[in-house]
């Protein structure tokens, strides 16, 4: 059941019709909590947010957050709840986001750092950080050389 009161930032059909390319939509337990993680650790901005839905933006990318309760009758919610940890086996990479700064911010804020910032043989410096909903975010930048 939706919790937003008042009008959204734009009509949903107008927003939906403007989307292109690859889209990422994360179901989260609490939109405000997900935004706090993404702002603190990834330096993301909330383009729009209400208790049901948010649009986030960082490093030239945009993605959506939907609260579980907004998906209360959707089969995706049932699947996520049945399978345990959300996003298991998926990496959400934010290219151009400093992994060392993200790791430091995550550690300071008490978030789980699965793997600290390190240079990898594939030419990226990256860290693996777990958000409160169990999604693994991988901020990365190219290595020198």
Q: Domains in the chain, please, with CATH?
A: 12-142 (3.10.180.10)
* 144 C-beta neighbours (distance < 10 Å), count: 7
The secondary structure of 54-118 as a DSSP string is: EEEEETTEEEEEEEGGGGTTSHHHHHHHHTSSTTTT-EEEEETS-HHHHHHHHHHHT-EEEEEEE
Q: Does the global pTM surpass 0.95? A: no
- Please give the chain's pLDDT, 145 residues, in tens: 777 778 777 776 676 677 666 688 898 989 999 999 999 999 999 999 999 999 999 999 999 999 988 877 776 666 666 666 677 767 899 999 999 999 999 999 999 999 999 999 889 999 999 999 888 999 999 998 7
Number of H helices, E strands in the chain: 4, 8
pLDDT recorded at residue 108: 98
Q: How far is CA 78 from each of CA 27, 44, 75, 81, 130, rounded to the nearest angstrom? A: 11, 28, 5, 5, 22
């Amino acid at each position: 059941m939706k919790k937003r009161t008042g009008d959204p930032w734009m009509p949903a059909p107008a927003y939906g019709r403007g989307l292109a390319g690859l889209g990422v939509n994360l179901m989260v337990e609490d939109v405000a909590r997900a935004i706090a993680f993404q702002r603190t650790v990834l330096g993301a901005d909330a383009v729009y947010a209400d208790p049901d839905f948010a649009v986030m933006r960082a490093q030239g990318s945009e993605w959506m957050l939907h609260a579980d309760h907004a998906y209360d009758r959707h089969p995706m919610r049932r699947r996520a709840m049945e399978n345990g940890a959300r996003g298991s086996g998926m990496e959400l990479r934010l290219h151009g986001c400093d992994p060392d700064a993200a790791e430091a911010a995550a550690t300071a804020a008490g978030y789980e750092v699965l793997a600290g910032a390190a240079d990898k043989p594939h030419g990226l410096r990256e860290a693996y950080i777990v958000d409160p909903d169990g999604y693994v975010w991988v901020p990365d930048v190219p290595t020198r050389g």
